[in-house]
Amino acid sequence: MTENPLNIDFIAGAVDYRRRFGGGRRQSLPKALGFRPGVTPSIVDATAGLGRDAFLLASLGAEVTLIERNEEVHALLESAMNRAAGESGDHAEIIARMTLVKGDARDLLPGLRPETILIDPMHPPRDKSALVKNEMRQLRALVGSDSDSLELIQIALSAATKRVVLKWPRRAPSLEGLRIPSHQIIGKSTRYDVFMTGPETSGRS
């Protein structure tokens, strides 16, 4: 049976459902990135991928820069954003807060000097590959294993003025050579390792 081609859609399906019913700022990801009453951070999503996290964050009011180095994935993101921008109402407003950049985040981050950086590299393969969603397998086939994740994180730690957040499987070991995070936010299957980089390094999210 032939698989459907990888598709990115911000208008309907799981992405829109999460936007409307996912819990808003109470979700683990916004908490990890420093959302709180009266504070909406500006964010660089250094590993844009399917763009779902960036869309959620933009729906919560954040200005989000998405960096994607894979040309095919970048083209899919650009197409999805253009379609959503043509919709009436909330979708167009959300897309207006999203800026898509093609390139390698390792090269771009030092010049951007963002407040907050989100990194969601390809995660270690699971023992039971059937548990991995079809679209994630397709994405991995396009972008590879992100073997340079540690280098990217180290560059992000030097570039971010406030914090870097690494999205990682809950039970997966930390990347070897990476310093201990300032704190963690643990979800059902995902954890967010938060590395404070600015004056708030001893504070809480």
pLDDT of residue 203: 42
Answer yes or no: is 166 within a domain: yes
> 116 - beta bridge partners?
43, 163
Instruction: Indicate yes or no: pTM above 0.85.
Output: yes
Answer yes or no: is 6 within a domain: no
pLDDT of residue 202: 43
pLDDT tens-digit readout, 116-131: 999 999 876 655 544 4
Answer yes or no: is 4 within a domain: no
The whole-chain average pLDDT of the chain stands at 88
Answer yes or no: is 202 within a domain: no
pLDDT tens-digit readout, 177-202: 999 999 999 988 899 999 999 765 54
Answer yes or no: is 131 within a domain: yes
DSSP per-residue letters across 13-75: HHHHHHHHHS-GGGSHHHHHHT-BTTB---EEESS-TT-HHHHHHHHTT--EEEEE--HHHHH
Answer yes or no: is 84 within a domain: yes
pLDDT tens-digit readout, 69-90: 999 999 999 999 999 999 878 8
Answer yes or no: is 39 within a domain: yes
Tally of domains within the chain: 1
> 55 - beta bridge partners?
none
Which pairing describes strands 163-169 and 190-196: parallel, antiparallel, or unpaired?
antiparallel
Tokens 């679209």 -> residue:
135
Answer yes or no: is 31 within a domain: yes
Q: 33: domain range?
A: 13-196
Q: Tell me, what CATH number does 188's domain have? A: 3.40.50.150
Grouping H, G, I as helix, E, B as strand and the rest as coil, residue 162 is: coil
pLDDT at 204 over 50: no
pLDDT tens-digit readout, 34-68: 999 999 999 999 999 999 999 999 999 999 999 99
CA 139, CA 154: separation in Å to the nearest integer?
24
